[in-house]
Structure 1
Amino acid sequence: MAAKYSDPKYDSYDVVIVGGAMYGSAVAWWLTRMPGFDGRVLVVERDPSYEFASTSHTNSCIRQQYSTEINVRVSQFGAEFIRNFRDFMGGDERVPTLTLQSFGYLYLSDTPEFSAALQAAQKLQAECGAATRHLSPAEIAEAYPFYNLDGILGGNHNLVNEGYFDGGTMFDWFKRMARENGVEYIANEVVAMTRDGGRITHATLSNGTRVALGQVVNASGPRASLTADMAGLTLPVEPRKRFTYIFEAAQPLDRDLPLTIDPSGVHMRTDGRYYMAGCPPDVDGPVDYTDFVDHHELWEDKVWPALANRVPAFESIRLINSWVGHYAYNTLDQNAIVGPHPEVGNFFFVNGFSGHGLQQSPAIGRGMAELLTHGAYRTLDLSPFAYDRVPANRPLVETAVI
């Protein structure tokens, strides 16, 4: 593997970003657009094919249906960014227009407690300007008559700026435009860091090359705790498997299927002429960084029965494709950890998104670039995601986690 690695052009960089997938590239690109930043940036990516990156296994969805204001606001900017993608990319005519297919998310509740939580979340979302509605079973049936709603007490739905977009294209252009704007990408791996008290001074690459740095950004996805370990820091992020299935229905539905979060833990949505479903494993714990082995029984024993129960037309379906990806799972609270370490001030986290990462990358990439350039947030205040809640064991409670 080392034979394919490349060396950096320089021996010193203002910012070294460890990981070049969605977050490494979002931060890198935003830095090139940040007034006042003129530093040298190095992105170190251990696998430039991105074959096993979480970015490559994403379902590319965005929602405003969260129970905390900061998560709602982050995704609202994400929707704005998607709708105006070319403008944000400087108006370059090569940049494609991104479409946000707003079929919405539909959270279904089957208990009074969850119904109350959905209604509280809907109130918060409405206060933030989101178009979420809390629906009775009769209202759900009127809008989507294909559901079996036995046992369902209600649901939340939003048809505005909530649904699917082409996350792969967004990532490709983050990376491409960052490079065109002067960011250096290398195929290599950071294997050690030199720490002098409250600062990281150097990153050591797999071939022994030492690179001096001003600031370092941990954008290592599910491997983020390994990067933190090199700096002598603790990070509660681990890889956890998530399963995605593409299937064809013998009797296609007569309208779009919202991204439906079923009480069984299975979610499903329209995916072009096909449909997509996903879920966690029954035993959801940490896995090896290289473990992408499928659990074939999950489809037969859990996913298909849940699909057929909620949408009877899905009794007759054919599995087209499936894959396994990793969440960068924050075991504290399943929310992002963003910003500097309180004691090692030039080590920055952009980690632990727990499945929300793609949709949050425009806002959090921008915020991280602001921190690196100005030492403070200039647009959206992302301080609720700060690292200090980790040692304090103070979770940022978010009830809408899929």
Structure 2
Amino acid sequence: MVSKIVVVGGGVIGSAVAYFLRSADTSVQVTVIERDPTYARASSALSAASIRQQFSTPLSVQMSLYGIEFLRSIGERLAVDGQRPSIDLHEGGYLFLATPAGETILRENHALQTSLGADIRYLPREALQETFAWLNTEDLVAGTYGVSGEGWFDGYGLVQALRKKAQSLGVRYVATEVTGLRREGRHVREVLTASGETFACDVLVNAAGPWARRVAQMLDIELPVHARRRSIFNVSSPAKLERCPLLIDPTGVYFRPEGTTYICGTSPSADRDPDDLPLDEVDHALFDDVIWPTLAHRVPQFEALRVEHAWSGYYEYNVFDHNAIIGYHPDIDNCVFANGFSGHGLQQGPATGRGVAELILQGRFVSLDLSPLGFDRVLENRPVVERNVV
């Protein structure tokens, strides 16, 4: 019988797991160990905080469909003592653009997304130009636009709302760092911490985000999840773009509105993307060399951009296939992994929290089968290929 559950990591994933566990069964004792309760370096607080259904794998689409349902009802779901949280959800949509080389994939992805109920519109070049008059379409063939169910929100607000709701349900949060795990055969028995306090557990959940690999190594498990820095730039422009979504250029450069300004970014090339780069060193050369020229080409009015602010956060990057690893490890009976979301953790957090809680309490995924994301696929070299990696 499961009575004591320890969750390592109190960001959106860990807090969602804790919330769903206690919502489903108030008899279980849930402890969340989070080394930084300010979330100053947490991916939950430092990301671009957005949600989309424009993926190429059915499960990712389904997870985000539940994610938007959860976010829309957050005031009711996560209210505490009559106080309803707000995350300023703005369903401005995603706009994926394709050159002729990407047209086939765009069409195939669109067919999949709409077959699962996502509200995505296919826009040929002429419709793109008509809908977004500020867009340079000369090298494009089409785009896909999320009419509803896609957009952006306050990521820090989401993690705080989940944390406060979980605490109101009886979850204990402990501000310390995990320093070791005591394992006996196929079971984790105790969690050791820097404060000297130890925690016995019937189930351990690894939700440590970019630091999950270190936790796994305490069990002699190699987890293919690495901390990769991503820089985000807040820019101002005299341009006033009507009906502006979160735009994904074919190059991978993205931007979206942020109040009266915009935020933008892109993934660096592989040779400029090692592990654990310092978060206080923003990659300004990436903006100058890649992002600004791309934005000026795609939106001519963006030729005059000024960086107002910039910061960096970590992707918990699954180097195996860029998709989450969710479920028990085949060699340890009571350790659940929820890691490697590769930039999708905020939007997939609700489905992950619900699924992990079901797996622990009921022994299986009930609402949505997340088993294709299990650890077995890594060990058996069966990647789940996502073609819409951003």
> Is the Cα–Cα contact under 8 Å of residues 279 and 311 in structure 2 kept in the other structure?
no
Question: Which amino acid letter does the alignment assign opposite residue 264 of structure 1?
Answer: T
Question: CA-to-partner distance for each residue in 1:302-322, whole Å, 9 max, x for gaps?
Answer: 111111110000111221111
Match of 2:266 among 279, 288, 293: 279
Match of 1:52 among 41, 44, 67: 41
Question: CA-to-partner distance for each residue in 1:262-283, whole Å, 9 max, x for gaps?
Answer: 1222101111111111111233
Q: How many residues align?
A: 388
Aligned mates of 1:265, 1:235 — CA distance in 2? 26
Q: State the percentage of identical aligned residues.
A: 39
Deviates more, 1:321-330 or 1:244-253: 244-253
Aligned mates of 2:204, 2:272 — CA distance in 1? 31
Aligned mates of 2:133, 2:286 — CA distance in 1? 27
Deviates more, 1:293-302 or 1:82-91: 82-91
Question: Are 1:19 and 2:9 counterparts?
Answer: yes
Question: Are 1:259 and 2:246 counterparts?
Answer: yes
Question: Which amino acid letter does the alignment assign opposite residue 227 of structure 1?
Answer: V
> Is the Cα–Cα contact under 8 Å of residues 222 and 289 in structure 1 kept in the other structure?
no
Aligned mates of 1:55, 1:98 — CA distance in 2? 13
Question: Are 1:314 and 2:302 counterparts?
Answer: yes
| Other-structure match for 2:255 | 268
CA drift at 1:338: 0.5
Deviates more, 1:289-298 or 1:350-359: 289-298
Match of 1:328 among 307, 311, 316: 316
> Is the Cα–Cα contact under 8 Å of residues 13 and 211 in structure 1 kept in the other structure?
no
> Is the Cα–Cα contact under 8 Å of residues 121 and 147 in structure 2 kept in the other structure?
no
Give the 3-state SS of the residue equivalent to 2:231 in structure 1: strand
Aligned mates of 1:52, 1:344 — CA distance in 2? 30
**In the superposition, relative to structure 1, how do residues 91 and 83 fare at CA in structure 2: closer, same or farther (>3 Å)?**
farther
> Is the Cα–Cα contact under 8 Å of residues 110 and 144 in structure 2 kept in the other structure?
yes
> Is the Cα–Cα contact under 8 Å of residues 105 and 158 in structure 1 kept in the other structure?
yes
| Other-structure match for 1:121 | 109
**In the superposition, relative to structure 1, how do residues 204 and 180 fare at CA in structure 2: closer, same or farther (>3 Å)?**
same
Match of 2:180 among 192, 195, 202: 192
CA drift at 1:290: 4.5
| Other-structure match for 1:358 | 346
Match of 2:70 among 70, 81, 85: 81
Question: Are 1:347 and 2:301 counterparts?
Answer: no
Aligned mates of 1:212, 1:325 — CA distance in 2? 32
Give the 3-state SS of the residue equivalent to 1:171 in structure 2: helix
> Is the Cα–Cα contact under 8 Å of residues 37 and 373 in structure 1 kept in the other structure?
no
Question: Are 1:40 and 2:25 counterparts?
Answer: no
| Other-structure match for 1:386 | 374
- What value does the CA root-mean-square deviation take over the aligned residues? 1.7
| Other-structure match for 2:208 | 220
| Other-structure match for 2:90 | 101
TM superposition score normalised by structure 2? 0.96
> Is the Cα–Cα contact under 8 Å of residues 243 and 281 in structure 1 kept in the other structure?
no
Aligned mates of 1:277, 1:87 — CA distance in 2? 32
CA drift at 1:378: 1.8
**In the superposition, relative to structure 1, how do residues 170 and 232 fare at CA in structure 2: closer, same or farther (>3 Å)?**
same
Question: Which amino acid letter does the alignment assign opposite residue 210 of structure 2?
Answer: P
Question: Which amino acid letter does the alignment assign opposite residue 41 of structure 1?
Answer: V
Match of 2:193 among 201, 205, 217: 205
Question: Are 1:31 and 2:18 counterparts?
Answer: no
CA drift at 1:98: 4.5
Aligned mates of 1:44, 1:288 — CA distance in 2? 21
Question: CA-to-partner distance for each residue in 1:34-71, whole Å, 9 max, x for gaps?
Answer: 1x451111111111221111111111110000111100
Deviates more, 1:291-300 or 1:148-157: 291-300
Give the 3-state SS of the residue equivalent to 2:229 in structure 1: strand
Give the 3-state SS of the residue equivalent to 1:343 in structure 2: coil
TM superposition score normalised by structure 1? 0.93
| Other-structure match for 1:64 | 53
Aligned mates of 1:226, 1:13 — CA distance in 2? 26
Aligned mates of 2:300, 2:74 — CA distance in 1? 38
**5+ residue gaps in structure 2?**
none
Aligned mates of 1:186, 1:90 — CA distance in 2? 22
Aligned mates of 1:108, 1:294 — CA distance in 2? 27
**5+ residue gaps in structure 1?**
1-11
> Is the Cα–Cα contact under 8 Å of residues 243 and 278 in structure 1 kept in the other structure?
yes
Aligned mates of 2:337, 2:365 — CA distance in 1? 14
